Amino acid sequence: MTLRFTATCAFGLERLVEEELKTFGAAEVDREKGAVHFSGKLGVSYRACLWSRFSSRVLLDLGGFEVPDEKSLYDGVRAIDWSGHISPSGTIAVETVQKRKSSFPGYYASLKTKDAIVDQIRDRFGTRPSVRVERPEVLIHLFLDGDKAKVFIDLSGEGLHRRGYRSSGGTAPLKESLAAAILRMTGFPADTEAGTALVDPMCGSGTFLVEAALMAADCAPGLGRDYFGFTGWLGHDPGLWADLIADASDRKRRGLAGKKTAIIGYDSTSLSECRKNIRTAGLEGIVMIEQRDIAHLKSPILANQFDTRILVANPPYGERLESPLTASFIQRCLIRKLKEEFAGWRAGILIASACRFDGGEEDIKRTKLFNGPLPCELNVFEVSGSGTADNASIRRMYKPALPRSDDFSNRLRKNLKNIIPWAEREIIDCFRIYDSDIPEYNVAVDIFDGYVRVVEYPRPQTVPADAAGRRLRYCADAASEVMGVPRPLIHAISWGEKRRSRSDKADEWFRNLKEVSEAGMRFLVDLEAARNCGLPLRQRLVRRFIRDNAKGSRFLCLFCGSGSATVSAAEGGALKSLSLDPSTANITWSRCNIAVNGFSSESHRVMALDEPEALRDLRESFDLIFVDMPDPFRRKAINAESLLKAAVERLSDRGRLLCFMDAKMPLPAPLISAKDITAHIVPRDLKRGWRAGRCLILPGDQLQV
């Protein structure tokens, strides 16, 4: 007997559902938004329940009618012959979905539908089925569209995305049906002799990985389920269902034995849930996973033997994990890593529709989807190489555009000749090329990875502001001409110029920060800042020390600022870190720098500093502590001695504390026994007239500079 069915699905998946239903033998297929209608024998619906990767539910259509009022709803439902569907001693539940507003609410419609069904059965058999909300024997699905109603029996019983292998949803779950659809839209699995390699760099609970393995091995997604809505339905054919299960089991055995795929997942957090899901799905040894940050993401060597290589990712949207701001920097890091490590791969990146995706590719196929209630966009593209110039290009970057001869220009030219070769050898992208060498030109000129900052030092009150302004503009123009850097990339900062407080800066300000490189790390800098732009050159060797000594350590950073020291510790292999700062803007800045480098926010936390109580409340100890002591004249509320004492108490048995402080600041008592290592941390390009401060290490007998 031919029956009429409806397969529901998430918006955007209708075409995929239609295509797979036709492979199950469906006829008269017709799709609309969120649903695909079809006809066929009972076996077609069973195949859909067992094999559909993209459908949400499979419904048996029992008919429709007008419902201008509640009586017409009751009468319409009761007119259906329920004796062929529900046992008088069985259990039922009713779910109502409303497309447009009806004359009565959904919960009331469910109640009236239930009443009509049980009244009919009780009148006919003298007994009635009972209501069971969780996993009833028969689930009735009522669909209301204004004054029209349609009644279905839900053969799936519960969402088909519930494959049976996932123990919990995870922190931000991706529905299995959507994951399978994304894989298919990205081209997995490819129909090639050499097979397909798949990588998920942010695998979480492993949904992409398990779905990919099931697809590649021809495993029915419903084979692991222990509940369907038709097993208690009176129209169920147990023999037909048993035959389909046996066939699916045989196909799974053959598929796992002959698979031609490499499926690899990485994640920065614990993979225990992912391992459990893989084990439950029976895919141990098929799916490979490894704990790894995006920061250390590389193309697996194993993938090179496959013709088709695909990467899929579901990075945080800023809805449930991270914030929208840090999520945008995580996405930026992911795109950069793709270009550096995955050239020639095809990528499928799912992002929130509210985010602007810029993969740097001209040909990006964008598909609107929904992850539950969240509107999303799938971006599929072929990854091209980054084309990033190496550090040796520094010499080529700074070629004079125009000949210029004056004292300032000549000194710039001389300094460039001496410093550029050193910067190339040391692989340094941010450095100083002029530091008030000529008293009449009282400025510092710093290079930040292609950008230039010309910062005026404090001037005597006898120097008029307009004259100083003209001199600063002259220096900026000279730097542009001598170095061949376009004038818009030269940032001239006047002494005493008032800047907007960082505490009230919105997300857009952080997004507009310039991204520069140092020692393979990325930093967000404010090149218009009057003082610290976010990457203090004076602490370059301090950051190197932290990076070189952080492996396997627990790192604590006090007054973390923009988080540059924390990023250095993470790059050096710190297991976890805690960064504290009293400034809300600095907390956000640090989190953005951690995100843009691809490090885990769970492993590298940033919190507000309420000194020294914040330290005394901590129960953990740290192997490496860095205190970037603020200027006491700017933060008079800071009790340096109490703060440092609390920090020392948090040191592990063989821990070290590094303190960078103003040279004029009195030495706090906890640092009396510390060793002064300032001579070791002064960068070559800042040695002239060093006035930045001093650096001490405690305990001093463990010095390794």
- Tokens describing residue 28: 């008269």
pLDDT at site 670: 85
- The CATH number linked to 443 is 3.30.750.80
pLDDT at site 701: 52
pLDDT at site 531: 81
Structure letter (DSSP) for residue 617: T
User: Which of the listed residues 363, 382, 401 is the one where a domain comes to its end?
Assistant: 382
pLDDT at site 389: 46
- Which of these ranges, 110-124, 189-203, 262-276, has the smallest mean pLDDT? 189-203
Asked if the structure places residue 426 within a domain, the reply is yes
Answer yes or no: is pLDDT of 395 > 60: no
Answer yes or no: is pLDDT of 704 > 50: no
My answer on whether 470 and 412 are in the same domain is: yes
Could you give the CA distance from residue 387 to residue 385 in angstroms, rounded to a whole number? 6
- The CATH number linked to 30 is 3.30.2130.30
Could you give the CA distance from residue 570 to residue 546 in angstroms, rounded to a whole number? 9
- What is the rounded average pLDDT for all residues in the chain? 90
- Which of these ranges, 110-124, 134-148, 639-653, has the smallest mean pLDDT? 639-653
- The CATH number linked to 196 is 3.40.50.150
pLDDT at site 358: 75
Give the number of domains in the chain.
Answer: 4
Q: Distance between the two ends of the chain, CA-based, in angstroms?
A: 83
What are the tens digits of pLDDT across the range 191-246?
Answer: 766 689 999 999 999 999 999 999 999 999 999 999 999 999 999 999 999 999 99
Query: In terms of DSSP bridges, do strands 261-267 and 287-291 run parallel, antiparallel, or are they unpaired?
Result: parallel
My answer on whether 311 and 376 are in the same domain is: yes
Question: Given phi > 0 = left and psi -120 to 50 = alpha, else beta, which region is 299?
Answer: beta
Answer yes or no: is pLDDT of 171 > 70: no
How is 638-691 classified by DSSP, letter by letter? --HHHHHHHHHHTEEEEEEEEEEE-TTSPPPGGGTTPEE-HHHH--GGG-TT--
pLDDT at site 612: 65
My answer on whether 426 and 463 are in the same domain is: yes
pLDDT at site 703: 44
What are the tens digits of pLDDT across the range 234-251?
Answer: 999 999 999 999 999 999
pLDDT at site 167: 76
My answer on whether 376 and 422 are in the same domain is: no
My answer on whether 402 and 373 are in the same domain is: no
pLDDT at site 705: 44
User: Which of the listed residues 382, 400, 420 is the one where a domain comes to its end?
Assistant: 382
Give the distance from CA 470 to its chain's centroid: 46
On whether the CB atoms of residues 519 and 295 are closer than 8 A, the answer is no
Average pLDDT, integer, range 357-363: 74
pLDDT at site 591: 96
Q: What one-letter code names the amino acid at 22?
A: K
My answer on whether 319 and 399 are in the same domain is: no
Closest CA to 419 of 411, 99, 567: 411
Going by pLDDT thresholds of 50, 70 and 90, the confidence category of residue 511 is: confident
Closest CA to 639 of 573, 558, 568: 558
User: Which of the listed residues 431, 458, 493 is the one where a domain comes to its end?
Assistant: 493
Q: What one-letter code names the amino acid at 327?
A: A
What are the tens digits of pLDDT across the range 551-603?
Answer: 999 999 999 999 999 999 999 999 999 999 999 999 999 999 999 999 999 99
Q: What one-letter code names the amino acid at 132?
A: R
Average pLDDT, integer, range 96-124: 91
On whether the CB atoms of residues 659 and 625 are closer than 8 A, the answer is no
My answer on whether 680 and 542 are in the same domain is: yes
Average pLDDT, integer, range 38-45: 98
My answer on whether 432 and 317 are in the same domain is: no
Answer yes or no: is pLDDT of 401 > 70: no
Answer yes or no: is pLDDT of 89 > 60: yes
Answer yes or no: is pLDDT of 544 > 70: yes
State which residues form the domain around 84.
3-154
Closest CA to 12 of 396, 378, 264: 378
My answer on whether 561 and 631 are in the same domain is: yes
On whether the CB atoms of residues 252 and 218 are closer than 8 A, the answer is yes
What are the tens digits of pLDDT across the range 441-469?
Answer: 999 999 999 999 999 999 888 888 888 99
Answer yes or no: is pLDDT of 367 > 70: yes
Answer yes or no: is pLDDT of 319 > 70: no
Asked if the structure places residue 268 within a domain, the reply is yes
Asked if the structure places residue 607 within a domain, the reply is yes
Asked if the structure places residue 415 within a domain, the reply is yes
On whether the CB atoms of residues 588 and 325 are closer than 8 A, the answer is yes
Asked if the structure places residue 343 within a domain, the reply is yes
Structure letter (DSSP) for residue 21: H
Average pLDDT, integer, range 58-78: 96
- Which of these ranges, 404-418, 537-551, 600-614, 631-645, has the smallest mean pLDDT? 631-645
Could you give the CA distance from residue 149 to residue 368 in angstroms, rounded to a whole number? 29
My answer on whether 143 and 181 are in the same domain is: no
pLDDT at site 92: 97
My answer on whether 556 and 650 are in the same domain is: yes
My answer on whether 438 and 375 are in the same domain is: no
pLDDT at site 536: 95
Closest CA to 201 of 157, 142, 139, 264: 264
Asked if the structure places residue 289 within a domain, the reply is yes
Could you give the CA distance from residue 513 to residue 364 in angstroms, rounded to a whole number? 26
Answer yes or no: is pLDDT of 504 > 70: no
